Amino acid sequence: MTSRLSTLLGVSVAALLSMGGAASAQDCERGDLDARYCDTDGDLIADTPTDESELLDPDTLIFAYTPVEDPAVYKEAWADFLTFLGEKTGKEIVFFPVQSNAAQIEAMRSGRLHIAGFNTGSNPLAVNCAGFHPFTIMAAEDGSYGYEMEIITYPDSGIEAVEDIKGKQLAFTSPTSNSGFKAPSAILKSDFDLVAERDFEPVFSGKHDNSILGVANKDYPAASIANSVKQRMVEREVVTNDQLKVLYTSQTFPTTGYGVVYNLTPELQQAIQDAFFEFEWEGTSLQEEFSKNGEAQFIPITYKEEWDVIRKIDAANDVSYACE
């Protein structure tokens, strides 16, 4: 399928697949990475090319935030940070609102998306198929971070416990979402012996806000969602807590991972990292939006460590990182 971002950037799925087929396989260590990448240092992410002809140093940098809630809200939320990013890099920065995780991965794989925040579940696919280098996440002042997956319903739905979902409908968000599909699928199977299609009807809403609104408006009897998205929607008075009932809360997962495409020049990658870690949140549009979750800074992370639990969930769900 094509998407708004792929259309805007002149990228089609067919073109991307042909590019993937044309890319020559490299004779190197790579683990789960696509054949176009190498991982000689074992950090599970694509090596930055040493051949200068393979490096990118564009005059305009494209930034995309993970497709949750209203894209217009996030264009405004990121405005102050992107201005600072432009000052630090000396580049023009363009924000593109994406409508799907697939579009975001497609665009980075094509070389036309340079900086991004990928949601928790999409990080492994972005790393392995698009050469994504995640290096930071948002955290609270004390350095704590993360969110929980919740399975929610509405009051008087007749669903009092997770087991009551049997025979009913459950809304997921998208197959690449951790809290919107992968984690609940694994947990429902292992802890409650509930399997999609066999025990309940799965539907896909596309985004967390669609699922949350769907439950609040009684369009879906239940849904699996990221509670960080729910909290921001409550803060903006899009929904109220009394419209929703929490049936299950998971362990804490890492939230959106931010990073760059692997083949930007090392100097540009460093300048972008510096912008994230030097940005002062106080009084900015970023603080106004993300302080609703208690987030107040960017902290360094590694894909190898922080996404270990997500890779284990993927393994439990027999998820493949094949790119075609």
HEC-encoded secondary structure of the chain = CCCHHHHHCCCCHHHHHHHHHHCCCCCCCCCCCCCCCCCCCCCCCCCCCCCHHHCECCCEEEEEECCCCCHHHHHHHCHHHHHHHHHHHCCEEEECCCCCHHHHHHHHHCCCCCEEEECHHHHHHHHHHHCEEEEEEEECCCCCCCEEEEEEECCCCCCCCHHHHCCCEEEECCCCCHHHHHHHHHHHHHHHCCCECCCEEEEECCCHHHHHHHHHCCCCCEEEEEHHHHHHHHHCCCCCHHHCEEEEEEEEECCCEEEEECCECHHHHHHHHHHHHHCCCCCCHHHHHHHHHCCCEEEECCHHHHCHHHHHHHHHCCCCCCCC
pLDDT of residue 91: 98
Strand partners, 62: 94
Res 316: pLDDT: 87
The mean per-residue pLDDT over the stretch 283-303 comes to 95
* pLDDT for position 27: 86
Mean of all residue pLDDT scores within the chain? 90
Q: Which of 67, 66, 70, 77 is nearest to 238 (CA)?
A: 70
Site of tokens 């990182």: 321
CA distance 173 to 239: 18
Asked whether the predicted pLDDT for residue 293 surpasses 60, the reply is yes
Model confidence over 10-63: pLDDT tens digits? 333 333 333 343 345 678 999 999 999 999 999 999 999 999 999 999 999 999
What pLDDT, on a 0 to 100 scale, did the predictor assign at position 100? 87
Domains and CATH numbers, the chain: 4-143+254-316 (3.40.190.10), 147-253 (3.40.190.10)
Please give the share of the chain, as a percent, with pLDDT higher than 90.
Answer: 81
- pLDDT score at 24: 52
- Residue 320 pLDDT grade (very low, low, confident, very high; cuts 50, 70, 90): confident
Mean pLDDT score, 255-271: 97
Average pLDDT over residues 216-237: 95
Q: Which residue has the higher pLDDT, 279 or 74?
A: 279
pLDDT confidence of residue 268:
98
Instruction: Take residue 131 and report the two structure tokens written for it.
Output: 């050469």
Q: What's the pLDDT score for residue 322?
A: 80
Cα–Cα distance, 118 to 134 (Å, whole number) = 9
User: What integer is the mean pLDDT of 295-306?
Assistant: 97
Rounded CA-CA distance 292/41 in Å is 38
Q: Measure the CA–CA gap between 226 and 147, rounded to whole angstroms.
A: 7
* Strand ranges of the sheet holding 92-95, from the earlier edge strand across to the other edge: 92-95, 60-65, 115-118, 257-261, 132-139, 297-300
Compute the distance between CA of residue 24 and CA of residue 28 in angstroms, rounded to an integer. 12
Is the model's pLDDT at 202 over the cut of 70? yes
At 170-197, the pLDDT tens digits run 999 999 899 999 999 999 999 999 999 9
Instruction: Kindly indicate the confidence band of residue 69, based on its pLDDT and cuts at 50, 70 and 90.
Output: low
Instruction: Report CA torsion sign: 109, 121, 138, 99.
Output: positive
